[in-house]
Amino acid sequence: MISLKTPQEIEIMREGGRRLAQIMRELQVQVQPGISTDELDKYAESQILKARAKPAFKNYQGFPRTLCTSINEEVVHAVPSKERVLQDGDIITLDIGLIWEGYYLDMARTAPVGQISLEAARLIRITKKALRLGIKKARPGNTSGDIGNTIQRFIESQGYNVVRDLCGHGIGKQLHEEPQILNFGKRHEGSELAEGMVICIEPMVTMGDWKLRKTQDGFGFATADGSLSCHFEDTIAITPLGPNVLTTLK
């Protein structure tokens, strides 16, 4: 069942999203060669608690940490550790969520580590644009298929692939609510978007094949062929005037 939020609930989520976006901005500054993913995780948790919020991911379905830190071919949900130290030329996806006054917010960004290749920089740029294009379709009367189709067509036109086995989702009092927001599909199919829905749109893009494998930590997913992957995500409210990004500092 799809949950519709009241304007008051959306305002609560907007404040939570603003706090999360500020933490993400500060977290990205910490990304540099030589820092461990464990250090990034501890920083993220300290900032969430400082913001008087709660980590959304810690202990969720057994996940042991606050932050997901997925490096290079890792797509999502990789667990931070002291052993995973960032190297010059890596790219890392920071996926983070918090709970603010009983409501979940969720966002992700892929960041460069030091000097990265032109190919990796292009992958980040294209995935970020795919998110923007998907968000533009998040309007009352459109469908989840309109979002997925827009993302898929753009990504494939750039020579990349979208992950099929993972997707975006509704969000609110639960981290994962209906509907699913696929990054592929057909226009006019899927769930119809309506005022009051709050969804996470999150293109997950691979430079090679879209098929995945589990990572050794038991939580993460990586590309089966070892190709680079990129992931951007925002939490968006559907309003009469169109999409309203909640995970922003504006």
**Is 231 a member of any domain?**
yes
DSSP 16-39: HHHHHHHHHHHHHHH--TT-BHHH
Is 250's pLDDT higher than 80? no
**Is 14 a member of any domain?**
yes
**Is 78 a member of any domain?**
yes
pLDDT, tens digit (0-9, with 9 covering 90-100), for 188-229: 999 999 999 999 999 999 999 999 999 999 999 999 999 999
pLDDT bin (cut points 50, 70, 90) of residue 161 is: very high
Say how many domains are in the chain.
1
CATH label of the domain that carries residue 103: 3.90.230.10
pLDDT, tens digit (0-9, with 9 covering 90-100), for 65-105: 999 999 999 999 999 999 999 999 999 999 999 999 999 99
* HSE-up of residue 246 (Cα within 13 Å, Cβ side): 33
Residue 110: domain span? 7-245
**Is 197 a member of any domain?**
yes
Measured CA angle at 148 (ends 68, 25), to 5 deg: 35
